[in-house]
Amino acid sequence: MVGYMNFTTFNDMLRRMSDRRPEKTFLYWVDKDRALTYSEADSISDRVAGALVTLGVDKGDRVGIFAHNGLDYILSMFGAWKLGAISCHINVLQAEDIVYFVQNAIPKVLIYTHDMFPLIDHNRSDMPSIRHYVCMDGEQEGALDLNKLVSEASPAPQRDIEGGDPAHLSYTSGSSGMPKGALLAHGPTVRASHYIAERMQLTSDCVTVGPTSPASSYGLVVNLLPALHRGATVGLMSRWDAAVAWEDMETRGVTHFPANPLVFTDFLHECRRRGRKPEKLRVAPSGGAPVPLDLKNAFREEFGIFLVESYGQSELGGFVALGYPRVENEEQESAIGPCLPDKEVRIMDEDGKEVPVGQPGEMCIRGGFMIGYWEMPEKTNEVIRDGWLHTGDMGKMDAEGYISMLGRWSERIICRGKVIFPRSMEEALLRHPAVQYVAVIGKPDPQAGELAKGIVSLYPGQVVGIDELGDHCRVELGDENAPVEIEIIDDMPMTATGKIGRAKLQERERNTIR
């Protein structure tokens, strides 16, 4: 029997599992109550590849996918990959930037959902690289019907595709500037997702549900690909709804629920409202943002669910660090977890030298990361130096290799020469029962340089004063470590990957000061 590590491409993974478990359910689309077996997914994606061939797509070409999470999205990806084409994932939550993404990736074909048509039609003249528009939901003006193309197509001839060949463009969230397209190869991502499957203790009996779009690399490396390694069943949600998710988990016996801290907070309230968790749910891998320790503890102590923290980037096709679904000691519980075997992680100072155990520095990685930023060699050279990818994130590592994240270097606040990372303040504010979302940013100050300012939005129906929030933080952290100022806003800006839009908050603050 060929081992998992011999799977060098995503295509190899699907074909092998189709041979082993042809009748096993591979994909289930919660919103449409539709399912595909491994054999059906392999066969249909072969015909998607054949349809793309009729549209002139060849190895190395980009195929844009601009759609909500669902079966057609996954099948379109595999169809492109089977030709050696590069799937270019454009998040519908960043729809206003469609021209930017298309002009960067230069796709030959754009596959989209019907609700994106007005935006696409308005911007056609600015997207000249696209030879064919293909709608997932039927023929539209100037667009072909994906289902008709696939039904009439023959499977494409098998292509010679290696693990080092590029697979997809994974765009960064844009939380600190315009998104960059990280070009990821098959092989490193296959290896990374293999180790993620091991750490998450996935087996063929496991069932997942994921609300995260494949446009985020997190949705691929923690939901789709690890489950594919093990022959598990992958659930897809187009739109997040905590009540719908709870019912789906109960009905299908979901064991693994990958999402982000904001989604988990909503889901925790849903479990509390019902008085219990879905019966078989046991592991909830979290990504996209740091996880407050109180949230981890609430999942485990109230419902027996291990909320497992991860830390990764679009540039990795995997993780820097990932926790275990088990009880840890107090210090390890507050950390993310240790690195995975496919990558070497070091904590380095500004001169590129490794710092002593327990000291803060930049998290740097060797092995198993992106080929580079698409069409951005200068940006690539800024982050990949001497074989190491510099994440731009600050952390520390203990003697057992457990990594704690302090924050992005770009998020640091420099107050009177002291470097402050906002995570402890943010977690303190989140411990107030009225606070739903929070970000602590640097407010420009002529004397101090920057002052720590907390910006929060509240749960619907909650009312709380700024003074009360300030007193809460000072009790939690002490006067010296609490935010100097707090502001309550109605709507917290979000990025397309579910992170708080710090760049927008920072810009808003600068404009206010002017």
Last residue of a domain, one of 114, 141, 158: 158
Q: Are residues 253 and 368 in the same domain?
A: yes
Angle formed at CA 371 by CA 369 and CA 372, multiple of 5 degrees: 105
Residues 262-301 have pLDDT tens digits of 899 999 999 999 999 999 999 999 988 788 888 999 999 9
Residues 335-385 have pLDDT tens digits of 899 999 999 999 999 888 999 999 989 999 998 899 999 999 999 999 999
Q: Are residues 390 and 426 in the same domain?
A: no
Last residue of a domain, one of 394, 409, 424: 409
User: What is the average pLDDT across 143-148?
Assistant: 97
Per-residue pLDDT band at 174 (split at 50, 70, 90): low
Domain count, the chain: 3
Q: Are residues 61 and 154 in the same domain?
A: yes
CATH number for position 139: 3.40.50.12780
Q: Are residues 416 and 372 in the same domain?
A: no
Instruction: Kindly state whether residue 251 falls inside one of the protein's structural domains.
Output: yes
Q: Are residues 459 and 509 in the same domain?
A: yes
Strands 318-322 and 361-366: unpaired
Residues 435-481 have pLDDT tens digits of 998 999 999 988 989 999 999 999 899 999 999 999 999 999 998 88
Instruction: Kindly state whether residue 211 falls inside one of the protein's structural domains.
Output: yes
Give the CA distances from residue 367 to residues 151, 315, 340, 342, 354, in Å, rounded to whole numbers and listed in that order.
41, 12, 11, 7, 17
User: Which residue has tokens 């797509």?
Assistant: 57
Instruction: Kindly state whether residue 81 falls inside one of the protein's structural domains.
Output: yes
User: What is the average pLDDT across 488-506?
Assistant: 82
Q: Are residues 148 and 195 in the same domain?
A: no
pLDDT higher than threshold 50 for residue 4: no
Q: What is the pLDDT of residue 177?
A: 62
User: What is the average pLDDT across 293-312?
Assistant: 94
- DSSP letters along 454-513, please? EEEEE-TT----HHHHHHHHHHHH-GGGS-SEEEE-SS--B-TTS-B-HHHHHHHHHHHH
Tell me the chain's radius of gyration from C-alpha atoms.
Answer: 23
Q: Are residues 143 and 211 in the same domain?
A: no
Q: Which domain holds residue 77?
A: 4-158
Q: Are residues 235 and 378 in the same domain?
A: yes
Winning range, highest mean pLDDT, from 197-201, 438-442, 504-508:
197-201
Residues 6 or more apart in contact with residue 324 via CB below 8 angstroms:
199, 308, 337
The rounded distance, in Å, linking the Cα atoms of 406 and 423 is: 7
Instruction: Kindly state whether residue 178 falls inside one of the protein's structural domains.
Output: no
The rounded distance, in Å, linking the Cα atoms of 402 and 322 is: 9
Q: What is the pLDDT of residue 176?
A: 56
Return the percentage of the chain with pLDDT > 90, whole number: 76
CB distance 41 to 78 below 8 Å: yes
Give the CA distances from residue 483 to residues 2, 406, 470, 479, 500, in Å, rounded to whole numbers and listed in that order.
56, 17, 8, 9, 18
Q: Are residues 417 and 404 in the same domain?
A: no
The rounded distance, in Å, linking the Cα atoms of 446 and 383 is: 32
pLDDT higher than threshold 60 for residue 7: no
Per-residue pLDDT band at 158 (split at 50, 70, 90): confident
- DSSP letters along 82-94, please? HTT-EEEE--GGG
Q: What is the pTM of this model?
A: 0.86
Strands 344-348 and 337-338: unpaired
Instruction: Kindly state whether residue 170 falls inside one of the protein's structural domains.
Output: no
DSSP helix/strand/coil, 296: helix
Alpha-carbon dihedral angle through residues 225, 230, 236, 241, given to the nearest 10 degrees: -110
DSSP helix/strand/coil, 362: strand
Q: Are residues 287 and 389 in the same domain?
A: yes
Q: Are residues 311 and 210 in the same domain?
A: yes
Between 4-13, 214-223, 285-294, 316-325, the lowest mean confidence (pLDDT) is in 4-13
DSSP helix/strand/coil, 400: coil
Strands 34-37 and 25-29: antiparallel
The rounded distance, in Å, linking the Cα atoms of 264 and 297 is: 12
Last residue of a domain, one of 158, 179, 210: 158
Q: What is the pLDDT of residue 190?
A: 95
Q: Are residues 282 and 210 in the same domain?
A: yes
pLDDT higher than threshold 90 for residue 513: no
The rounded distance, in Å, linking the Cα atoms of 435 and 92 is: 28
Per-residue pLDDT band at 498 (split at 50, 70, 90): low
Residue 223's φ and ψ, nearest 5 degrees, are: -110, -65
Instruction: Kindly state whether residue 244 falls inside one of the protein's structural domains.
Output: yes
pLDDT higher than threshold 90 for residue 79: yes
Residues 108-118 have pLDDT tens digits of 999 999 999 99
Instruction: Kindly state whether residue 177 falls inside one of the protein's structural domains.
Output: no
Q: Residue 435 corresponds to which tokens in the numbers above?
A: 């606070």
> In the predicted model, what is the mean pLDDT of the chain?
92
CB distance 238 to 73 below 8 Å: no
Residues 387-446 have pLDDT tens digits of 999 998 889 999 999 999 887 777 888 898 888 888 889 989 988 999 998 999 999 988
Instruction: Kindly state whether residue 491 falls inside one of the protein's structural domains.
Output: yes
CATH number for position 491: 3.30.300.30
